[in-house]
Amino acid sequence: MLALAITYGCNNKQNPRAVKTSLTSTVVAQVGIAPSFAYAQSASCPCKGATLSTIASKAVPAVVNVASSRVIVQQLHSPYSPFFNDPFFRQFFGPMRPKTQKELQQSLGSGVIVSQDGTIVTNNHVIAKAQKIVVTLPNKQEVPAKVIGADPKSDLAVLRLEKKVKDLPTMKFGDSDQLQLGDVVLAIGDPFGIGRTVTMGIVSAKGRANMGITAYEDFIQTDAAINPGNSGGALVDMDGNLIGINTAILSKSGGFMGIGFAIPSNMAKPIMESLIKHGKVTRGYLGVTIQELTPQLAQAMDLNPNTQGVLVADVMPDSPAAKGGIKRSDVILSINGEKVATPLQLRNLVATAGANTKVELEILRKGRGETVTITLAEMESPKAPPQFKEKAGTLSGMTLLDLNPSVREKFNIPGQIKNGVLVDDVDPDSLAAQSGIRPGDVILEINQSAVKSVSQFTRLYHGSQKHTLLLIYRDGTTMYFYLSK
């Protein structure tokens, strides 16, 4: 069995001194007749026979290089650190302060200028956790940029240049729904940081999902070459319009192997607009549990085995679906006239429609067709676990969770541990980590007061003035930790 790895077309993290570039020359045979694909026909100019070079020259200036950087702090472990982390020895030697070193981490990617005010669309993974972003324009001018908004669930981000630049080249959004299999497309980006590059291919597939790349997937698949550094670059149609944001490749080697993925423009544009307007993406929420309608299920429900739709397995109480009359065993055939054949397709269409939006659902109920109108609600983002936010303090850098049943099961907390809070994460460079606190620890007491919740722990910790005494359960035993403030 061949194992295929999903590899982002960006995050070209590299040490400039260690990078070597080898160039090889290629002999191109002269031909008397231009190949048929050298001329492109489009809906707007079907008879003009625009050349690929004309389209490329129109689109390339709007594609920029995006360089992001951040300083990370690495902890240098001593071979004696496990010994000195033992609470018994810390009574004599005190807490050990591990040595650290700072390292500059850099990432190269691409972006597309979409408006004269310097708005740039790129991938979230190009700029994730960046402390500094610099955009290189076609004229080699370097301009700092700031993040307007980012959406990890779709792997999209919006930047804006921090300095006004006159006569910026821009690229218009195209209609990705009009793409057909076999359409010629161009991929434009800055692979390996060598400069803007144009590659050509076709639309190999549409609606690619379940790839495990992002939470919301509806990718255009193309065989136009996408390499490290191309992420965030443009997929361009034969009108020179932006119809996709190049995002990832499917590869066994880490390099391009003929399968690349781009986020379609009709998905990217509303996300961009929401990030600009709200700073976040407001996705629509229907409130149903759905599953694939297999031929066997269709036949068991006295439906045509060839019925294409999505089966409603459950309806959430007080949800938009419940208020709109959707019932369990309904089959959703379309949303706003667009046919749906898979649960993921329906999920994407609902999310893209947005909150407080009315949608028409065509459904089958016991074999009879109906149309219902539903007003979608806003999908709520999961709340982040409680976390200490103070910059100083012996326990800064910890993420704590209440001991609910799912946490107990995940971390295998025994039943005799009735109360406490679980240490879910510890920043390696934090004072909490240096004091010996580890992920998986259960804090039972603070200053000899039993702990029952994260909020109670926070209150008791902030109330302590001089020191913090913790009783911690770890690996079947308990131990005290004394932490001086």
Catalytic residues: 125, 155, 231
Q: Residue 56's closest CA among 202, 171, 216?
A: 171
Which residue type is seen at 116? Answer: Q
Tell me the backbone φ, ψ of residue 125, rounded to 5 degrees: -70, -10
Output the DSSP codes for 445-476. EETTEE--SHHHHHHHHHH--SEEEEEEEETT
For residue 43, CA distances in Å to 46, 138, 240, 266, 356 come to 6, 28, 12, 18, 35
Q: Which residues contact 393 (CB under 8 A, 6 or more apart)?
A: 431, 485
What DSSP character marks residue 342?
A: S
- Give the tokens for residue 413: 């907390």
Cα 170 to Cα 10: distance, rounded to the nearest angstrom: 22
CA angle (181 as vertex; 180, 182 as ends), nearest 5: 110
Q: Which residues contact 328 (CB under 8 A, 6 or more apart)?
A: 312, 313, 314, 315
- Give the tokens for residue 243: 């119809």
